[in-house]
């Protein structure tokens, strides 16, 4: 069964600090991996998308990495801000399968003063 595991489940950091969120997956055959940010009470918003041949992708202070060999991805947030407080969801899609996305359960990040 395809699975996406994220760690940690939750994280509290001080404003200005960096953090890294992890995503391990067993989805096969792999098509791409996305990171979404979901603010409380809102729908998820896409941050990055990476295909098999890409091993890093940045979006402002967010940098995602992908190791397709070990089936691991990370999302690094630099110089965190209060507005980074949200859940971050890793989503992996399969090649050739209609509409088959596997969602992780997310990491809830809280940035405090």
Partner 1 sequence: DVKVTQSSRYLVKRTGEKVFLECVQDMDHENMFWYRQDPGLGLRLIYFSYDVKMKEKGDIPEGYSVSREKKERFSLILESASTNQTSMYLCASSLLRPQQETQYFGPGTRLLVL
Binding region for partner 1 (CB under 8 A): 4, 31-32, 34, 41-46, 49, 89, 93-106
Q: What token pair was written down for 88?
A: 């971050």
Contact in structure between 73 and 66 (CB atoms under 8 Å): yes
Nearer to partner 1, 35 or 80 (CB): 35
Cβ-based nearer residue to partner 1, 17 or 42: 42
- What are the tokens at 77? 């947030």
Q: How far apart are CA 46 and CA 62, in angstroms?
A: 12
Shortest distance (Å) from residue 52 CB to partner 1: 12
- Beta carbon nearer to partner 1, 45 or 82: 45
């Amino acid at each position: 069964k395809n699975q996406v595991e994220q760690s940690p489940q939750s994280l509290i950091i001080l404003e200005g600090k960096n953090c890294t969120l992890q995503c391990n997956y067993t989805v096969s055959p792999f098509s791409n991996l996305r990171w979404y940010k979901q603010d409380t009470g809102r729908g998820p918003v896409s941050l990055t998308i990476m295909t098999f041949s890409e091993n890093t992708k940045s979006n402002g202070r967010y940098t995602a990495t992908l190791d397709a060999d070990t089936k691991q991805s990370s999302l690094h947030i630099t110089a965190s801000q209060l507005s980074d407080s949200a859940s971050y969801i890793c989503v992996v899609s399969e090649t050739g399968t209609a509409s088959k996305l596997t969602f992780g359960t997310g990491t809830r990040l809280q940035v405090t003063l």
